[in-house]
Chains A and B, each alone.
Chain A
Amino acid sequence: MKTLDKLHQHGAGGVKAPSGATSPLSVSGLSVAYQKKPVLRDVTFEVNEGELIGVIGPNGAGKSTMMKAALGLIPSISGEVLVYGKPCSEQRRLIGYVPQRESVDWDFPTNALDVVLMGTYGRLGWIRRPGAKEKAEAMECLRKVGMADYADRQISQLSGGQQQRVFLARALVQNAKLYFMDEPFAGVDAATEKAIITLLQELKKNGKTVIVVHHDLATVQQYFDSVLLLNVELKGFGPTSRVFTQDMLQHTYGGRLAFLDHTIAAGATEAHGGVSL
């Protein structure tokens, strides 16, 4: 772990990462462009197994884009992404994904249990439908996120936090080894935030690797083992204690963070400042 840290602390700039066959996610030279403007430029990093990794950066820094490109959901113009040493398309069963909550239509005619069941579709193959076994698994996952009582509830009747928990239950039922979560903490209540972080820590305890796009700088030190700083280019990657510093954040966000001192101090004493971007 220590050697990797050294390699990736300032991992930007075309240094090809060693494609370790055991790393859950190894990204090298990944670039993405919509129309003409690059939204992600030459991003290279390699994550360690069993860590919670926070992806931090200003709006429009390409955080979601990086996730989608790593998952192969949007085309990249260059770069290589390996999941446990193989291309992403061959490792779908090992990957769980939680898209941004706003990316779907919550008025869709379906209920909470049904949404969780969707997490089993990948492993069911072309024809098979979810059966009793999958339903039992889905109920178990709803229970884990504290939503068992809402299984039959139409999804538009759930609060934002409850919807996010349903999404997490869906990721749990995927039973993956590597999770991508796009802003799971956005717009949720305090109880849900606590439930989510407990769940992430449990995933970590079971040896899963979880990559989380995160906005609330005040909780970064408390939540994540490693931090990936992104602003179109990779601005830094490594253990939170080493990378989540005022200098590095200034470097990532530009001159726009007057309250950084306060944030980091608050984070260090584990206080909830609620400062977010």
Chain B
Amino acid sequence: MSDFWILLTGSLVAACCGIVGVFLVLRKMAMIGDAISHSVMPGIVIAFLLSGSRDSMLMMSAALLFGLITTFLIGLMQRTGIQSDASIGVVFTALFAIGVILVSLFARQVHLDQDAILYGEIAFVHWNIWELGGVNMGPKAVWLLGFTLVVIIAVISLFYKQFKLASFDPALAAAVGIPVAFFHYLLMGLVSMATVSSFESVGAILVVGLLIIPPSTAYLLTDRLGVMLGLSVAVGVAGTFLGYGASVLLDASIAGCMVVAVAVLFAAAFLFSPSQGLVVTKLRQRRLAAQAAIASVQKQ
């Protein structure tokens, strides 16, 4: 049974991250995802201290709040002329460091160690069960991730055209009256939710891999945004299954194997994508060169 729960949890993480990640990648904000995944940490710890549990709605709200604060501060610094990458670096390391201090100060109360935050404990998800009136409802992480996935799918499909236009051409979006800033923060809110729902399973560092690698893989394989969203989720889920298989064989970190698996899938797409793959492009060039050579011989 634990296999089932681990695979389900991993797939839900992959789906949540895969969808919001597509918009991060297309808007060239991959590193913002990295920043948010780290800077929600103080929010998580504070919520933990207040509620004493790690799966409360309070934790979700606190992480959301810190995710939006991060986005806001980065935007503010960029507008005042600080380099974009420097702004990201300043904000997320500072907030993450505050989280580290909080964990070290209150380690005994929070039962939350830094390894768990950084690397996750997906192997243990099925131990943390949600009981409703004495009935076993399954792991809490699955419910939390399921809720997040429903919210993400609902928001993205409801406002698909706004997210699409704001990603492709924010100037036109603003010119036709779409509140671009609102949708920016809405997306960042979804990223924060995806991150905080996933961190318990895969940790704050590896979640970045699932936010960025599956969308980047899908980007190499299609020309359509809708297809890219579907492929991104598919790559993430495939990585979950392959990674879990590998981790059982190797007896190694599950989350680590999952991210390596999606990275391997990315490498495969990078080399063999029918439209942009390195190998395919080289072969095509060679074939064209050969055809040109034959044509010139025939002319003589």
Task: Decide yes or no: A109 and B222 within 8 Å by CB, A97-B172, A99-B172, A122-B176 being known contacts.
Answer: yes
> Nearest CB to that of A73 among chain B residues?
B174
Counting CB contacts under 8 A, is B81 at the interface?
A: yes
CB neighbours (8 Å) of B264 from chain A are none
One digit per residue, 1 when the CB lies within 8 angstroms of any chain A CB and 0 when it does not, for chain B 215-237 equals: 00001001111011000000000
CB neighbours (8 Å) of A180 from chain B are 175
One digit per residue, 1 when the CB lies within 8 angstroms of any chain B CB and 0 when it does not, for chain A 77-107 equals: 0000000000001001001010100011100
Q: Shortest Cβ distance from B23 into chain A, in angstroms?
A: 11
Q: Indicate if the CB atoms of B167 and A108 lie closer than 8 Å.
A: yes
One digit per residue, 1 when the CB lies within 8 angstroms of any chain A CB and 0 when it does not, for chain B 134-170 equals: 0000000000000000000000001111101101110
Q: Shortest Cβ distance from A239 into chain B, in angstroms?
A: 28
Counting CB contacts under 8 A, is A201 at the interface?
A: no
CB neighbours (8 Å) of A115 from chain B are 168
Q: Indicate if the CB atoms of B219 and A109 lie closer than 8 Å.
A: yes
Task: Decide yes or no: A99 and B161 within 8 Å by CB, A109-B225, A154-B223 being known contacts.
Answer: no
Counting CB contacts under 8 A, is B26 at the interface?
A: yes
Q: Indicate if the CB atoms of B176 and A104 lie closer than 8 Å.
A: no
Counting CB contacts under 8 A, is A68 at the interface?
A: yes
Q: Shortest Cβ distance from A68 into chain B, in angstroms?
A: 7
Interface size on A, residues (CB 8 A): 32
Q: Indicate if the CB atoms of B161 and A124 lie closer than 8 Å.
A: yes
Q: Indicate if the CB atoms of B161 and A130 lie closer than 8 Å.
A: yes
Counting CB contacts under 8 A, is B177 at the interface?
A: yes
Q: Indicate if the CB atoms of B169 and A109 lie closer than 8 Å.
A: no
Counting CB contacts under 8 A, is B29 at the interface?
A: no
Q: Indicate if the CB atoms of A110 and B225 lie closer than 8 Å.
A: yes
Bound form: Cα–Cα A90–B219 in Å = 37
Bound form: Cα–Cα A230–B28 in Å = 33
Bound form: Cα–Cα A126–B183 in Å = 12
> Nearest CB to that of A103 among chain B residues?
B171
Interface centre among A73, A119, A127, A180 (most CB of B within 10 A): A73
CB neighbours (8 Å) of A72 from chain B are 174
What are some 19 contacts across the A-B interface (CB < 8 A)? Answer: A68-B171, A99-B169, A99-B172, A103-B169, A104-B168, A105-B28, A108-B225, A109-B26, A109-B224, A109-B225, A118-B172, A119-B172, A119-B176, A121-B176, A122-B177, A123-B176, A124-B161, A129-B161, A130-B161
Residues of A participating in the B interface, judged by any CB pair closer than 8 Å: 35, 68, 71-73, 89, 92, 95, 97, 99, 103-105, 108-111, 115, 118-119, 121-124, 126-127, 129-130, 154, 170, 174, 180
